[in-house]
Chains A and B, each alone.
Chain A
Amino acid sequence: MPETLLEIRDLAKSFPARGKGNAAVQAVADVRLTLKRGETLGLVGESGCGKSSLSRLILSLMEPDSGTVVIDGEDFLGASVQRKRLMRRRIQIVFQDALSSLNPRMTVGMNIAEPMRLQGLGSARERDGEARRLLDLVGLRASDAERYPHEFSGGQCQRIAIARALVLKPDIIVFDEAVSALDVSIRAQILRLILDLQTEFGLSYIFISHDLGVVRRICDRIAVMYLGRIVEIGPAQPVCEAPRHPYTEALLRAIPIADPRRMRVEELGLIQGDGFGSPKPEACAFEPRCPHRFAPCSVKRPTLIPVGDHHEAACFLNDRSQRKGDS
């Protein structure tokens, strides 16, 4: 089995209440994950479930309430300022809206080389050379280094953002909805690029999306998040073909299949209610929306238990002892 590169230990983060009468939002709750070298882990869940919050915690762009992140056996969040700066080189992020994550007043070349400058690496010439090399690698022209971000299309900006994420030769890249806004054909180009780069450099990825279809296509393992918690995690195929949590099941049925013989609008699955607000602390967070809820769901919170090979789910339906009590 390949070695563990990244370990996320019990990360939690809540945000104070916004507006009157609202409770604090538990954006990330006790999340535990590992990422192996060369692996792609997908993170899916509906809008607001805490995917971006989790990625910001992993990158140490935000302080957690508790928990930590370990890179190659070394505590990242707890590292000294200097050490942390060095460790930052190893983990990079690409956001959904690439254009707004690029500095409009800097040339594309300077944008790509900016992380090097911040890390005090290389001369201006060397940085420019590196930017040009990377532009070529992501399928743009070296001469594009002299142009400005607004002169590029959405898909091209995404390539520029990927080039920037590569400039420090990281081991891990987090893609936060990095292809969601792209047109299908451009999306296929970017996914192909991401996969090719992985093969070439042995990179590890965390790939965040609300679209299980895209995630299925490129991930080895998938983690499904609901209201801040991982509710199911396992190899891509069993999670997509034999899900063991009703939320995963519902999410899968909500995705239209590009084949009119297999799915028409009448068969699109609808999940009742919405995933906002604060769940009862002593219940399953999905209980109010769950079509299979039974006695224990409203009084106890299920934890992740093994349901298959490297496959875990947090649902009492998988728990014999709970089901016996029910019938």
Chain B
Amino acid sequence: MTPDAEIALAVSDLRTRFGGDRSGATVVDGVSFSLKRGRTTALVGESGSGKSATALSLLRLIDAPGRIIGGEIRLGGENLLSLDETEMEAVRGAKIGMIFQDPLTSLNPALTIGKQIAEVLLAHKDVSRAEAEARAVELLTHVGVANAALRVNDYPHHFSGGMRQRVLIAMAISCSPQIIIADEPTTALDVTIQAKILRLLHDLQQEMRASLLLITHDLGVVAAMADEVLVMYAGRIVERADVDTLFHAPQHPYTKALLACVTDIGGDRSVPLEPILGTAPDLKQQQVGCRFAPRCPAVQDFCRREDPCLMALSDRQEVACLVVQRERNLMAPADA
């Protein structure tokens, strides 16, 4: 793996708001990151931190009155935020494939599996219906559905949870996108099926040399899958690091706290569980200072006044924590 892998998608200062101008909340608030070709980037953080909102923003699927209020999303030479709706439609599915959080509701119960996969191909590729349906069988076989030629005629309710997830993956990769976004693809599944789906996603991603953005709150899944990790808290990315650094030298107090909550099979039973006390801030309110300050065990007075921004500690790690930054004598940028 070369450190300077080719950038496939670059997001800068993305800001997304839900709700009205006054009553709403900016749930993605100045998020910047890039996805690299052939690499997996994990996006972690607790429920409500804005992971799904970030993913949906990349596809511009934020429903009104919610909207993207700023930033840039560069794919190839284009800024996705300046495309018109028809141009954007051509990006969805074809250049960016998406596996949504809820496998049950993202399939149409009234349409056979084969037809649903074929629809995606018909929308983006210059193929006949017969070709699209034949390709659907190939895709299903590819994602490990046995007897695909027969199973294409089944409806979603004939499939188990793990099988439906395979169908969604088949749809997401049908047009060989450069970017695959998978939002909690295994959270609803049991561990044995999860293992199969993770392996499948990994193999497909390697084979297509695609970038995978994997959203999850399961740190075991992150450790197994990710090359790079983004940690999100209350609408912001608070730490970015390669996977080894994140697990072995985490810097942000929130990342450390998250790692202390892990209950996996490798865990040491004698170390007591250390839940993170308190709750995330209400983003409807104006935020002053660091958003994690009220729950932070390392909080200092200045944390409650100044708003930290992400700064590089090394070429493998960036952190948005004033305490860490001051310890290392990092200066805030002149304009902050």
Contact = CB atoms under 8 A, between A and B. Distances in A.
Contacts of A217: 263, 267, 269, 273
A259 interface: yes
Interface in A62-98: none
A183 interface: yes
Given A256-B198, A257-B266, A276 B220 contact: no
A150 interface: no
Nearest to A271: B192
Nearest to A214: B263
Contacts of B225: 264-265
Interface string A244-273: 000000111111111111111110111100
B47 A47 contact: no
Interface residues of B, number: 46
B266 A262 contact: yes
Nearest to B242: A260
A224 B194 CA distance: 18
Contact of A256 (B190, B220, B260): B220
A123 interface: no
Interface in A34-73: 46-47
B284 interface: no
B61 interface: no
B332 interface: no
A132 interface: no
A265 B199 contact: yes
A257 B265 contact: yes
B267 A216 contact: yes
A109 interface: no
Contacts of B269: 216-217
Report which residue of A187, A255, A256, A275 has the largest number of chain B beta carbons within 10 angstroms of its beta carbon. A256
Contacts of A260: 223-224, 226, 243-244, 247
Contacts of B192: 46, 250-251, 254, 271, 275
Decide if the interface of chain B is mainly helix, strand, loop or mixed: helix
Interface in B155-199: 160-162, 189-196, 198-199
Interface string B252-271: 00000111111111110100
A46 B266 CA distance: 19
A189 interface: yes
A230 B298 CA distance: 47
B89 interface: no
B224 A256 contact: yes
Contact of B193 (A47, A153, A183, A259): A47
A164 interface: no
Interface string A204-225: 0000001111101100000000
Given A47-B190, A183-B46, A265-B202, A256 B264 contact: yes
Given A183-B46, A186-B46, A264 B273 contact: no
Interface string B138-163: 00000000000000000000001110
Contacts of B189: 47
Contacts of B47: 153-154, 183, 186
A187 B218 CA distance: 11
A187 B263 contact: yes
16 contacts: A46-B193, A183-B217, A185-B257, A185-B275, A187-B261, A216-B269, A251-B192, A256-B223, A256-B264, A257-B224, A257-B265, A257-B266, A258-B222, A260-B224, A265-B202, A268-B198
Interface of B: 46-47, 160-162, 189-196, 198-199, 202, 217-226, 243-244, 247-248, 257-267, 269, 273-276
Given A187-B263, A270-B195, 11 more contacts: A46-B192, A184-B219, A188-B274, A188-B275, A216-B269, A217-B263, A256-B224, A257-B223, A259-B223, A260-B224, A263-B223
